[in-house]
């Protein structure tokens, strides 16, 4: 078990590292066959856990990572994680299969799969980890890999824009989420999700409860594209279609759903959780579906439809949370059914939306357009594609015999169940919920009809430039959508297999306190009898057909409601404003002159140490332990003083450099005199290398004369220099006078013998403080690369290139 | 000419000195940082005396990679301690009897220090080369 879970998280990352290597001999699109093995094997491995999970077993494994901070690398698998893990690997395999034929050989296929695997690993990490910090790390990693995948065609301006937008919005949400996690840690002292669930009452009683709740929800809403953060999703459609199908409809955007479901046991029971989750969800559903209808780009239409469907799932989870507030078992069963429906629809949505995205990808690939005004009459030319599109859209519209019908019915039922909810004082609102849901469903129905009828029926529109002759897609591209399409049908006919083995355990994972209750997992029936849900569905169909027929007459309404654009505009303006302000502020102090920067450093140093010195008033000078000053030292110091004063009056730069060198070497001699060979050696070599560097840079420096500044600046610099010197001298003298703590050197001296090193300095560097040394080495390396690339970059651009002048 | 002839000999003396400094670091003055600096000064001397192409022919490796190798070594020895379930960067020493050198201490710290030395060497030479290539 453990090995399966660890494999699931780490294999994608390892595979991602291997892709560039393997790509060298598995060239072209054949690399895809290596990649597809990863999700496929993981899917099978994970699927083997399903039977034991359906018995209610959960697996929790913990490794200490940073135990002092409460961070453990702990994995937890229960039904809820399993649904997502299966979706990630299952849809992942199909998407990889599809992408093998979707991407052309000329694209950077290796890069694509590296990012995709990176995402897969991160996403599995999100759903399988129990520690909130680990979850957060993986969460942000999904944002980053999504960014990279959206910007896959980075030469397009729109791709870069969309990538940046999604990154900014989701990462901002992520940081809020982290803040929420930290608040929870503050309350409970643990980062473990399972332990948090056990401490519900403590959390609910704390004053940080509401802020933590809001922060966590912000993270979930930004990720799952809930209103008003949904604006990034349509722009994310610039990604290659397999990515849109995978990240932006089937998995990543559902991370928010996962988070809400996971935190339901922690936060639910408080009215605000129910209100926020269900209202935002419903509003998103309505907003998404209404906006989807007006889209002409099929992919944008699907993006809005995804937003709408995510909102629908979210709202069901909100209603499901009511089960924590009620005590009557009949009520509980009603609300748990809502969560059940949410999870059911989650799976259904992945199947039909995945297939629809693939269909759109095929259209784009075969015809070179996805604009519905340029499509039409394709049903006879591309019969298989048409069938899949038909299945997908009708399922989304909520028609039988497709799985969307089942979950749509359950959705209506969940909304209607609110009629009985008098526990949270919302009688008047209870009516509003089903109505909004119903209206949203009508629009859903309309855009589903748009997909089917406007792109596949009707007459073939006039040819447009760049059009390719329409014919059916190659069978390799069709396999993945066919598999998804058949799942849509299969789930309709055998929903209870799914319900018992996968949805049931997942639902119970959301309600750990209800484990003992029998018969919570509902049976799914296609036919409920003549009850309200079926009438609602009939109403949706009738109203939907009517409105679709007359779409042309009322479509003008959309020109009035332009809130969508104001939201987008708000985002753009805000971004532009931030950039402008940042550049103004930065430019005000980043003058580009090293002299100014040194002045800043000195000023800070003076302010920090100097004020501290004056503030503490501890001027105790103790010269008793000082060694007598001999003639050797006085001579060297005299040389140093002479050279440093001489620098001020140097007439040329070379003189100044040499004088500076004299200063440096004299210090080295001073070290020798005071028997510090290590320091002396280092000083000499550093001095040599810097002098060489100085000579190299010599060529670029401007004329010595031209650097003369005005008198006031020189006076300012003079004061700064003298003040710094005084402070350093005072501090150096003061050090001897104070001894608050016993010297640490004796400790090092004795222990370093144990470690075998006789050179204490090096033992400290290499062992006691090895971590510091390692990081220093790393910093040095990064700085070196930085300098190197700066120099190279400049040359490439040809700016200021001497020989060109 | 004289400088070139002298350099040919001095180069190796400096190199040996650098290695000596690096190896003796555990018990005497020296160590990774100084060793690396001395090594790099040897190379810098070569570049100053000869032209870049000649030296490139003599040293067919990329100093950026040397630096990367150094970082890898330094971090790698730290990771090695995970294998033995010890905290990150725990160093170990063994006293071994080697045929020629007699009783010698072999420590992972030496590898760590080698990492430091290589990074310093790589970075310094890369920076100086980067700037000097720009000049020409």
- For residue A379, is it within any domain? yes
Cβ contacts (< 8 Å) between A783 and chain B: which residues? Answer: 123
| pLDDT at residue A126, rounded to an integer | 92
d(CA A309, CA A311): 5
d(CA B83, CA B87): 10
- For residue A599, is it within any domain? no
| pLDDT at residue A156, rounded to an integer | 87
| pLDDT at residue B82, rounded to an integer | 61
Whether A512 and A543 map to the same domain: the answer is yes
Average pLDDT over residues A652-658: 81
What are A498-510's pLDDT values in tens digits?
888 888 888 888 8
Residue A164 pLDDT greater than 70, yes or no:
yes
Whether A396 and A380 map to the same domain: the answer is yes
Taking all residues of chain A, what is their mean pLDDT, rounded to a whole number? 83
Residue A558 pLDDT greater than 80, yes or no:
no
Whether A541 and A579 map to the same domain: the answer is no
**Of A678, A765, A781, Cβ closest to residue B29:** A678
- For residue A657, is it within any domain? no
φ and ψ at A71, to 5 degrees?
-100, 115
- For residue A459, is it within any domain? yes
| pLDDT at residue A804, rounded to an integer | 36
Tell me the CA distances in angstroms from A516 to A54, A194, A519, A786, one per residue in order: 14, 18, 10, 61
Domain boundary among A540, A572, A590: A590
Residue A5 and residue A48 in contact, taking contact as beta carbons nearer than 8 Å = no
Site from B74, B78, B129 to mutate, A interface, most A CB atoms within 10 angstroms:
B74
Whether A413 and A392 map to the same domain: the answer is yes
Whether A483 and A449 map to the same domain: the answer is yes
Whether A427 and A325 map to the same domain: the answer is yes
- For residue A771, is it within any domain? yes
- For residue A667, is it within any domain? no
Residue B36 and residue B91 in contact, taking contact as beta carbons nearer than 8 Å = no
Q: How many helices (H) and strands (E) does chain B have?
A: 5, 2
d(CA A131, CA A190): 9
What are B31-58's pLDDT values in tens digits?
777 788 888 888 877 777 777 777 777 7
Nearest to A230 by CA among A178, A286, A190: A286
- For residue A151, is it within any domain? no
| pLDDT at residue A805, rounded to an integer | 34
Tokens of A607: 């302010």
**What residue of A is the nearest CA neighbor of B14?**
A685
Residue B106 pLDDT greater than 70, yes or no:
no
Residue B26 pLDDT greater than 50, yes or no:
yes
Whether A341 and A293 map to the same domain: the answer is yes
Whether A395 and A508 map to the same domain: the answer is yes
d(CA B28, CA B23): 9
A246 CA: distance to closest CA in chain B (Å): 35
- For residue A407, is it within any domain? yes
Q: Is the link from the previous residue into A256 a cis peptide, with omega within 30 of 0?
A: no
Instruction: Work out the pLDDT band at A560, boundaries 50, 70, 90.
Output: low
ipTM above 0.85, yes or no: no
Residue A52 pLDDT greater than 90, yes or no:
no
Whether A426 and A530 map to the same domain: the answer is yes
| pLDDT at residue A117, rounded to an integer | 92
A689 CA: distance to closest CA in chain B (Å): 7
Residue A741 and residue B9 in contact, taking contact as beta carbons nearer than 8 Å = no
Any A CB within 8 A of B72 CB = no
Site from A676, A682, A686, A770 to mutate, B interface, most B CB atoms within 10 angstroms:
A770
Number of domains in chain A: 3
| pLDDT at residue A218, rounded to an integer | 93
Whether A452 and A506 map to the same domain: the answer is yes
d(CA A712, CA A718): 10
Any A CB within 8 A of B23 CB = no
Provide the domain limits for residue A574: 560-590
Tell me the CA distances in angstroms from A14 to A7, A738, B78, one per residue in order: 10, 55, 21
Whether A451 and A462 map to the same domain: the answer is yes
Tell me, rounded to whole angstroms, the distance of Cα A552 from its chain centroid: 40
Cβ contacts (< 8 Å) between B133 and chain A: which residues? Answer: 791
d(CA B72, CA A96): 33
What are A715-737's pLDDT values in tens digits?
888 888 888 888 888 888 777 66
**Of A755, A774, A802, Cβ closest to residue B75:** A774
Cβ contacts (< 8 Å) between A752 and chain B: which residues? Answer: none
Instruction: Work out the pLDDT band at A325, boundaries 50, 70, 90.
Output: confident
**Of B44, B74, B130, Cβ closest to residue A774:** B74
Whether A325 and A465 map to the same domain: the answer is yes
| pLDDT at residue A285, rounded to an integer | 92
């Amino acid at each position: 078990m453990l090995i399966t879970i660890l494999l699931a998280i780490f294999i994608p990352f390892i595979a991602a590292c291997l892709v560039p290597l393997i790509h060298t001999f598995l060239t072209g699109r054949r690399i895809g066959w290596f990649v597809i093995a990863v999700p496929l094997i993981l899917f099978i491995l994970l699927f083997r856990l399903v039977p034991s999970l359906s018995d209610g077993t959960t697996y929790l494994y913990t490794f200490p990572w940073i135990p002092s901070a409460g961070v453990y690398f702990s994995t937890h698998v229960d039904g809820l994680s399993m649904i997502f893990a299966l979706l990630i690997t299952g849809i992942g395999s199909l998407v990889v299969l599809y992408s093998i034929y979707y991407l052309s050989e000329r694209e950077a296929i290796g890069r694509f799969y590296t990012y995709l695997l990176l995402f897969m690993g991160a996403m599995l990490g999100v759903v399988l980890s129990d520690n909130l910090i680990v979850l957060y790390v993986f969460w942000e990693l999904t944002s980053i890999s999504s960014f990279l995948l959206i910007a896959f065609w980075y030469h397009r301006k729109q791709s870069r824009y969309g990538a940046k937008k999604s990154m900014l919005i989701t990462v901002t949400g992520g940081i809020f989420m982290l803040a929420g996690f930290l608040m929870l840690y503050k309350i409970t002292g643990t980062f473990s999700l399972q332990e948090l669930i056990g401490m519900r009452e403590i959390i609910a009683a704390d004053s940080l409860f509401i802020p933590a709740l809001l922060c966590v929800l912000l993270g979930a809403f930004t990720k799952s594209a809930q209103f008003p953060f949904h604006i990034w999703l349509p722009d994310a459609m610039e990604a290659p279609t397999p990515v849109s199908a995978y990240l932006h409809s089937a998995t990543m955007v559902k991370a928010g759903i996962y988070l809400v479901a996971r935190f339901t046991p922690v936060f639910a029971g408080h009215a605000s959780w129910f209100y926020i989750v269900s209202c935002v969800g419903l509003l998103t559903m309505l907003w998404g579906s209404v906006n989807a209808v007006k889209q002409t780009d099929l992919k944008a239409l699907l993006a809005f439809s995804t937003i709408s469907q995510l909102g629908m799932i979210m709202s069901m989870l909100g209603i499901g949370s009511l089960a924590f507030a009620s005590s009557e078992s009949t009520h509980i069963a009603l609300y748990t059914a809502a969560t059940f429906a949410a999870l059911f629809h989650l799976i259904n949505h992945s199947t039909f939306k995945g297939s629809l995205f693939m269909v759109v990808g095929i259209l784009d690939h075969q015809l070179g357009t996805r604009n519905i005004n340029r499509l039409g009459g394709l049903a006879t030319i591309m019969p298989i594609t048409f069938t899949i599109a038909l299945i997908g859209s009708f399922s989304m519209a909520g028609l039988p015999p497709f799985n969307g019908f089942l979950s749509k019915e359950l959705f209506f039922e969940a909304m209607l169940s609110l009629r009985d909810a008098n526990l949270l004082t919302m009688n008047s609102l209870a009516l509003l919920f089903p109505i909004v849901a119903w209206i949203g469903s009508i629009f859903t129905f309309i855009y589903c009809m748009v997909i089917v009828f406007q792109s596949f029926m009707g007459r073939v529109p006039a040819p447009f430039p760049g059009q390719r002759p329409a014919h059916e897609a190659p069978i390799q591209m069709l396999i993945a959508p066919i598999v998804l399409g058949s799942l849509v049908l299969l789930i309709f006919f055998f929903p209870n297999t799914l319900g018992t083995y996968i949805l049931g355990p997942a639902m119970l994972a959301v309600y750990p306190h209800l484990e003992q209750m029998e018969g919570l997992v509902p049976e799914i029936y296609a036919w409920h009898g003549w009850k309200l849900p079926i009438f609602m569905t009939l109403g949706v169909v009738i109203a939907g057909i009517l409105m679709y027929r007359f779409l042309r007459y009322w479509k003008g309404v959309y020109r009035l409601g332009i809130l969508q654009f104001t939201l987008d505009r708000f985002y753009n303006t805000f971004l532009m404003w931030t950039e402008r302000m940042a550049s103004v502020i930065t430019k005000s102090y980043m003058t580009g002159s090293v002299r100014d920067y040194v002045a800043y450093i000195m000023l800070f140093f003076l302010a920090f140490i100097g004020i501290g010195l004056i503030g503490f008033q501890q001027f105790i000078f103790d010269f008793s332990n000082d060694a007598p000053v001999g003639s050797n030292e006085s001579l060297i110091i005299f040389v140093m003083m002479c050279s440093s004063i001489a620098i001020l009056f140097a007439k040329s730069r070379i003189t100044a450099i040499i004088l500076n060198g004299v200063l440096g070497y004299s210090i080295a001699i001073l070290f020798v005199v005071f028997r510090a060979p290590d320091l002396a050696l280092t000083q000499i070599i550093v001095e040599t290398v810097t002098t060489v560097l100085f000579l190299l840079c010599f060529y670029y420096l401007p004329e010595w004369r031209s650097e003369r500044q005005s008198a006031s600046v020189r006076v300012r610099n003079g004061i700064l220099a003298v003040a710094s010197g005084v402070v350093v001298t005072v501090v150096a003298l003061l050090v001897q006078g104070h001894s608050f703590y016993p010297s640490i050197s004796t400790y090092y001296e004795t222990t370093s013998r144990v470690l075998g090193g006789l050179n204490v300095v090096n033992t400290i560097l290499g062992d006691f403080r090895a971590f510091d040394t390692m990081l220093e080495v790393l910093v040095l390396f990064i700085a070196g690369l930085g300098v190197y690339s700066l120099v190279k970059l400049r040359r490439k651009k040809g700016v200021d290139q001497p020989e060109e002048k | 000419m004289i400088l070139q002839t002298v350099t040919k000999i001095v180069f190796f003396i400096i190199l040996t000195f650098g290695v000596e400094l690096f190896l003796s670091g555990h018990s005497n003055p020296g160590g990774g940082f100084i060793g690396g600096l001395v090594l790099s000064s040897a190379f810098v001397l070569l570049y100053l005396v000869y032209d870049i192409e000649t030296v490139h022919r003599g040293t067919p490796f990329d100093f950026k990679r040397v630096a990367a190798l150094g970082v890898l070594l330094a971090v790698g020895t730290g990771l090695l301690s995970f294998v033995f379930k010890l905290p990150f960067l725990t160093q170990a020493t063994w006293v071994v009897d080697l045929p020629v050198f007699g009783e010698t201490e072999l420590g992972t710290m030496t590898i760590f220090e080698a990492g430091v030395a290589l990074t310093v060497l790589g970075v310094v030479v890369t920076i100086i080369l980067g700037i000097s290539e720009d000049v020409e």
